[in-house]
Amino acid sequence: MTGFVDHQTAASAGVNDVQRPVEIDVAAVLALLRRQRRLIGGAVSAALLPAAFHLALADPRYSATASVMVDTRRNQMMQLQNEQQITDALADAALVDSQAETIRSEQIAGLVIDGLGLAADPEFAGDPPGAFAAAFGAVKAIFGAAEDADPQALRRAALEAYGKALDVRRIGTSYVIEITFTTKDRAKSAAIANAVAEAYIRDQVEFRAEVMRRAGHWLEGRILALRTQASEAEAAVQDFRGKNNLIDANGKLFADQQLTELTSQLATARSETAQAGARLDRIRAILSSAAGDGAVAETLRNDVIIKLRQQYNDVAKREAEWSGRYGVAHAATVNLRAEMKQIERAIQEELGRIGRTYESDFEIARVREESLQKQIEEVLGEVNKTRRAQVRLRELESGAQSYRTMHDTFLQRYVNAVQQQSSPVTEARILSRAVPPQRKSAPKTLVILGVALAGGLAAGVAAGFLREALDRGIKTAAEAEAATGATCLGVLPLIPRREARAARSRGRGERSPLPIPPDMRAVFRDPVLSHAIDSPFSPFAETLRSVKVAIDAGALGGGGRVIGVVSAVPGEGKTTLAANLALLIARTGRRVTLIDGDLRNPALTQSLAARPKAGLIEVLLGRAGLASALLTDVTTGMRLLPAVAERRVNHSNEILASQAMRELLRVLRAESDYVVVDLPPLGPIVDTRAAARSVDDFVMAVAWSATPAAAVRRALATAPAVRDGLVGVVLTKVDLERYAEFEQDGGLHYDSAVWRRYGAPES
C-alpha cells in the first residue's frame, strides 16, 4: 500500500546510501536558514547589542610602534674563536628572544616611568574610580579624612599599567623587535614607545661598559698570574733538558744523530763483509778445482795470473805442434810439458796468495761489523733513556706553551676590554622611531562588530539547526503522505476567530435561496466552524473542495457515503474539518448529515448556537426519534445529529460499534448523499477503531508542525481499517507564510499571488 515500504527494499536502499558520497542539499540549507531567520536575527541582535554598547562607552586607545634591531655579532672578549662559532650558531634565536624579555623587564620600565614621570600620570596611577568609590572619596575629603597617596603604591600601579600597555614582539624570524605602547593619547603613546627604545639602548650601553670594566679588572689579575706561570714552566723545560742531556742540533737530539750515523755505517760494513765473503768463497772454489777453466773469469782481474795463463797457453800451443811434428817422447816436447807444469804451479801459488788476501779482508770486515753492532746497541740504550725523557720534556713544553698562549690571548682581550670601556657601540640599534598614530587601535570597531556578528550568526544558525532537529512535527505534504500512506489533499490555514467573524459578517448577503422553514436557524455559533461557506473563495474552502473530489472519485454504486473524519491525537482540528466539509458540500445543494461521533469530547455539540435536548445516544437507545434529534443549518440545509450527554459515557466504543449505530447509518445513507462523522482521535481511545467497519471513507486531519510523524504512523498502525479506507490527509492549522518556506518545490501553491488571480476578492 502507498506509504509503507518493504523492509528488505529499505535495507538495500540504506546500503546504497552508505556507499554513496554525502551530498549537501544547498537549497534545503538555505530554506532552513530562511525559516529560522527570526531566531538567527535575534541571536545576531543579542550579540551586536553588547558589542555596540561597549563601543559606545569604551575610550579610544592609540598604539605607537618603535623598532629595534639586535646585532647578533656578539662581543667575543670572553670566548675562543671555535667556541664563538658554536655558540652563535645555537644562540642567535635565543639572544633575540632574551633581548625582547629585557625590554619587558621591570628595570627598563622603571627607567621609562621615572624619566617621563608616569607615576603622576592619572592614566598610570590606577583605574579611575567608579561612581560609588568617587562619592565615597568625596565624602572623605569633606570630612578631612582624605589620605595622601603612597608614592610606592603609585609606582606599583604605574608599573602594572605600563606592563599592560606595552607589547614587545619579534618580527618573524628576523632580528627586529617591535615595541608597541598603547595609551589614550596619540602623542603620549609615541613618546613612551621611543622612551622605551632609548632606555633599552642606554641600558645596553651602561651594561656593556660595566661588563668591560669588570672584565678588565679580572683580566689584569689573570694576566699577571699567567705570566708568572709561563716563566716558571719555560725555566722547568730548560732545567730538564740540561739534566737529561737533551741537547739538539739542527732540530735533532745528539743520540738520535749518532744512532743514525752508526746504523748507516753498519749497513755499509755488512755489505763489505758480504762482498769479502763472496770473493773468499769463490777463490776457495777455484783452488779446489785445480786451476780449471772455470777459474779464468776470476783470475782475469789479476795481472800475474793473466800473464801466467798467457804463457801457459803459448807453451801448450808449441807443445801441441812439436808433439805432432816430433812425437810425444821427443825431448823438446817433454821440456815443454815440464814448463807447462811449472806455469800451473805458479798459477796455483798466486791463487793461494790471493785467497789468503781475501780471507784477511773478510776477517777485517767481519770484525768491523761486530764492532759497529756493539756501538749501536750501546747507543740504543741511550736513545731509550732519551725517549723516555722526551715524553716528560714534551709535557713540560706543552704546559709552558699553553701558559704562554693563554697569556697572549688574555693580554689581547685585556687591551680590547680597555678600549671598549668607553665605546658607545651596542648589540642593538633603533631601526625606526614611533610617530603619533592617525587611527585608534582599540577598541577595534570592525573586529568587535565582526566577531559579534560571526558569533551571533554561528549561535543563531546552531540554534536554528537544533530547533529544526528537535521539531518532529509534520510540515509538508510529502511528510504527511509518507507518514499516512495517503495523498495530501490540501492544507487548512489557521483562521483567527476575528477573521472568521468578519467573514461571517461579509457572507450574510450570500445566503442560500433554498426555502427555509420558520424553525430553522444557524447551527454553529463559532464562526470558524462555518468559515468555508462564509469565505468560499479562500484556500480554506478550496482544500475542502479537494477533499470532496477525492471522496467522489472513490465512490462506487448508489446511496450515500459515510465519511469519517479522524486525527491521531486530540486538538488537530478534525472537528473544524468535519463541520466545514459538511457545510461546504451542503451548500452545493447536496443532502448532508453531520454526526458528532466523539462521545467523550463532543466539540461539535458544544459549539452549537442552542443547547439540544436529544442527540446520538438518545436516538441509539430509543429515547428520542431521529427527526426530533436532528438540527438543520438555516444557511445550507445541512442536518446535524449532536451528542448530548450529561456525563462522559462508559463504553462509548460499544455504542459506536453497536447494531443500532449500523442501522442508524443505514437510514441516514438512504436519506442523505453524504454522512460526515466527527470521530474521536485514534491515539487515546479505541472508539474509531470500533466504528471503522461502518464507515466507507476516512479523511485524516494532521495539525501542521505540531503532530509528529511517528505519532501518526503509530495511530494508523493500531487501526488497519482506517488506514485501508483512508481517502487522504489534510494539514490543519497551517501558517501559510511559513508553510511556503518548507515547500521547496512550490507545494500546493497556497501563496497570495495565486489566490489574487484565482480567488475572488473579499468584499
| Same domain as 82, residue 36 | no
Residue 585's pLDDT is what? 94
One-letter identity of residue 11: A
Q: Assess if residue 635 is contained within a domain.
A: yes
For the chain, the residue count is 763
Residues 152, 155, 161: CA angle, nearest 5 degrees: 145
Segment 487-504 shows an average pLDDT of 85
| Same domain as 565, residue 449 | no
- 349-373 confidence digits (pLDDT tens): 877 788 788 888 888 888 888 888 8
Residue 752's pLDDT is what? 57
What would the DSSP string read from start to end of 123-178? TTS-PPP-HHHHHHHHHHHHTT---PPPHHHHHHHHHHHHHHHEEEEE-TTSSEEE
Tell the residue number behind the cell numbers 579610544, with chain if given.
60
- Residues 431 and 222: their CA atoms lie apart, in Å, by 39
Please determine, for residue 193, whether its predicted confidence score (pLDDT) is greater than 70: yes
Q: Assess if residue 749 is contained within a domain.
A: no
- 526-540 confidence digits (pLDDT tens): 888 888 888 888 888
- Residues 181 and 188: their CA atoms lie apart, in Å, by 9
In this prediction, residue 294 has a pLDDT band, given cuts at 50, 70 and 90, of very low
| Same domain as 45, residue 93 | no
Please determine, for residue 146, whether its predicted confidence score (pLDDT) is greater than 70: no
**H/E stretch holding 688:** helix 687-691
Q: How much is the mean pLDDT over the chain?
A: 79
Residue 130's pLDDT is what? 44
- Residues 41 and 347: their CA atoms lie apart, in Å, by 145
Please determine, for residue 594, whether its predicted confidence score (pLDDT) is greater than 90: yes
Residue 570's pLDDT is what? 92
**CATH code, domain with 667:** 3.40.50.300
Q: Which has more pLDDT, 55 or 82?
A: 55
* Residue 176: exposure state from Cβ atoms within 10 A (0-12, 13-18, ≥19): middle
**φ, ψ (nearest 5 deg) of residue 488:** -80, 115
In this prediction, residue 15 has a pLDDT band, given cuts at 50, 70 and 90, of very low
| Same domain as 670, residue 617 | yes
Q: Which segment of 434-443, 660-669, 725-734 scores lowest on mean pLDDT?
A: 434-443
In this prediction, residue 293 has a pLDDT band, given cuts at 50, 70 and 90, of very low
* Residue 746: exposure state from Cβ atoms within 10 A (0-12, 13-18, ≥19): exposed
Residue 613's pLDDT is what? 87
Q: Which has more pLDDT, 142 or 568?
A: 568
Q: Assess if residue 339 is contained within a domain.
A: yes
Please determine, for residue 547, whether its predicted confidence score (pLDDT) is greater than 90: yes
In this prediction, residue 498 has a pLDDT band, given cuts at 50, 70 and 90, of confident
Select, from the ranges 77-86, 413-422, 698-707, the one with the highest average predicted confidence (pLDDT): 698-707
Q: Which has more pLDDT, 220 or 145?
A: 220
Q: Assess if residue 603 is contained within a domain.
A: yes
In this prediction, residue 635 has a pLDDT band, given cuts at 50, 70 and 90, of confident
Q: Model-level pTM?
A: 0.54
Total domains in the chain come to: 4
Q: Assess if residue 760 is contained within a domain.
A: no
Give 166's strand partners. 181
Q: Which has more pLDDT, 27 or 72?
A: 27
- 28-57 confidence digits (pLDDT tens): 777 777 777 788 888 888 888 998 888 888
Domain final position from 360, 377, 394: 377
Q: Assess if residue 567 is contained within a domain.
A: yes
> Which residue range forms the structural domain that includes residue 333?
252-377
Helices 539-553 and 574-587 cross at an angle (nearest 10°) of 80
**H/E stretch holding 505:** helix 497-506
- Residues 699 and 64: their CA atoms lie apart, in Å, by 77
- Residues 191 and 642: their CA atoms lie apart, in Å, by 93
**CATH code, domain with 71:** 3.30.70.1130
- 678-689 confidence digits (pLDDT tens): 999 998 889 889
| Same domain as 72, residue 52 | no
Q: Which segment of 26-40, 130-144, 256-270, 398-412 scores lowest on mean pLDDT?
A: 130-144
Residue 514's pLDDT is what? 42
In this prediction, residue 178 has a pLDDT band, given cuts at 50, 70 and 90, of very high
Residue 208's pLDDT is what? 77
Select, from the ranges 57-66, 447-456, 562-571, the one with the highest average predicted confidence (pLDDT): 562-571
Segment 636-652 shows an average pLDDT of 83
Please determine, for residue 109, whether its predicted confidence score (pLDDT) is greater than 80: yes
| Same domain as 189, residue 279 | no
| Same domain as 202, residue 93 | yes
Segment 475-499 shows an average pLDDT of 88
Q: Assess if residue 712 is contained within a domain.
A: yes
- Residues 531 and 537: their CA atoms lie apart, in Å, by 10
- On the CB side of 187, CA atoms within 13 Å amount to 1
| Same domain as 120, residue 54 | no
Select, from the ranges 248-252, 529-533, 535-539, 546-550, the one with the highest average predicted confidence (pLDDT): 546-550
Q: Which has more pLDDT, 592 or 260?
A: 592
Please determine, for residue 434, whether its predicted confidence score (pLDDT) is greater than 70: yes
| Same domain as 366, residue 272 | yes
Q: Which has more pLDDT, 288 or 47?
A: 47
Q: Which segment of 15-19, 228-232, 339-343, 602-606 scores lowest on mean pLDDT?
A: 15-19
| Same domain as 46, residue 115 | no
Question: Where does 43-118 show beta strands of DSSP type E?
Answer: 62-70
Please determine, for residue 728, whether its predicted confidence score (pLDDT) is greater than 90: yes
| Same domain as 54, residue 67 | no
Q: Assess if residue 613 is contained within a domain.
A: yes
| Same domain as 313, residue 337 | yes
pLDDT-above-70 percentage for the chain: 80
